[in-house]
Amino acid sequence: MSHLEPLRQRAACALKTAFVGDALAMPVHWYYNPADIFRQFPGGIQGFEAAPANHPSSIMSLHSTAQGGRRSGRQTSRDIVGEVILKGRRKYWGDSRLHYHHGMQAGQNTLNAHCARVLMRSLAGCKGHYYDPAPFLQAYIDYMTADPPRHPDTYAESYHRGFFANLEAGRPADQCGAVTHDTASIGGLVTIAPLVFAERLSGTGVADIQEIAHRHLMLTHPDQALGEVCGSYVALLCDLLACETRDQARGIIAACARDSARLDLPRLLDRNRSDFEIVGGLFSSACYISGSWPSVLYLAYRYLGDSRAALLNNANLGGDNVHRGFVLGTILGLTEWESTATLFGQLQDCRELHSEINALLPACGLPSDAVPPVN
């Protein structure tokens, strides 16, 4: 067995756990009052659920369908939502109570997770896995403008709408990243992990991966503060990929929190606060990276060794739990796999995901018993 084989298996498990985290949180995405979660789902989210018909705090009807951000007087030559992307789904954006992920079924992944898959397929098609932005951008544009859409989602984050508004205005694809009030958001980190693992397992150094990931991030999320967090996230993933014990992993996460968020995780946990006091209390549960990044690090540190509990609790905390869940699942999946293995087998696209992950990491050679059965 190659000395890289355990690392490839660990990276594969991290990606599988990331998609689990996304799908678990989908039905209660952007619920900013956790009581609403427990009202619609007695006992809270305990497994995969379909998106409810109504969303108690949806503001999707206030979001612009012509550009990133909220509605304004500005209008492109045609609606981005419905005519350029999300074709046929513009009609869902006018209902103030409709769920952001209207019609999605239990175990399905949201749009940003599907964009991570677009990158995975793009990387798998590149000789040696080395990143090239041009094939990714073309694959992203083709995927997002497909008619009918190739994904099940109804909602597209601000960055997608802003990107395609700029593309419609004639900007080159590599200059279409839009700046809005929420550019610096946790959703920008969703596509980073596949890039990190493909590059690291191909022998690329950490500093070079940080530069590559920053360049990739700026294509869609041009924000320097987010870029700094991205650099810390890359280093964290590389360190966890190589760590040997759970205690070592705990120290790595604590050091990352101290250096990137000025957060003393051991001291915070000693205060014995509830998760709701931390995520949604001390730190905002919204998408903004200033609150979502320390929230992810806190949850990863607290629940290290039990990914299932971490991802379920993350879902029940509400806010931007979907994108937090993807990043959190990636981090925890590097340290253990067993607690979410059965859940991966319940994802709607588990077989396709397994194949795409193995294509991204072709020498991984996961033994058959590491792949949970489809239930």
pLDDT category, 368, cuts 50, 70, 90?
Answer: very low
Distance from the Cα of residue 317 to its chain's centroid? 16
Token duo for residue 326? 């993807």
**Whole-number pLDDT of residue 1:** 47
pLDDT digits (tens, 9 = 90+) for 300-335: 999 999 999 999 999 999 999 999 999 999 999 999
For residue 290, pLDDT beyond 60: yes
Helix axes 307-317 and 5-25, enclosed angle (nearest 10)? 30
pLDDT digits (tens, 9 = 90+) for 38-76: 999 999 999 999 999 999 877 554 555 654 334 454 554
3-state secondary structure 343-365: HHHCCCCHHHHHHHHHHHCCCCC
DSSP, collapsed to helix, strand or coil, labels residue 113 as: helix
pLDDT category, 344, cuts 50, 70, 90?
Answer: very high
Full-model pTM: 0.93
For residue 122, pLDDT beyond 60: yes
Amino acid at 203: G
**Whole-number pLDDT of residue 74:** 52
pLDDT digits (tens, 9 = 90+) for 178-207: 999 889 999 999 999 999 999 999 999 999
Mean pLDDT of 81-92: 91
For residue 140, pLDDT beyond 80: yes
**Whole-number pLDDT of residue 60:** 56
**Whole-number pLDDT of residue 58:** 73
Q: State what percent of residues in the chain have pLDDT above 70.
A: 90
For residue 374, pLDDT beyond 70: no
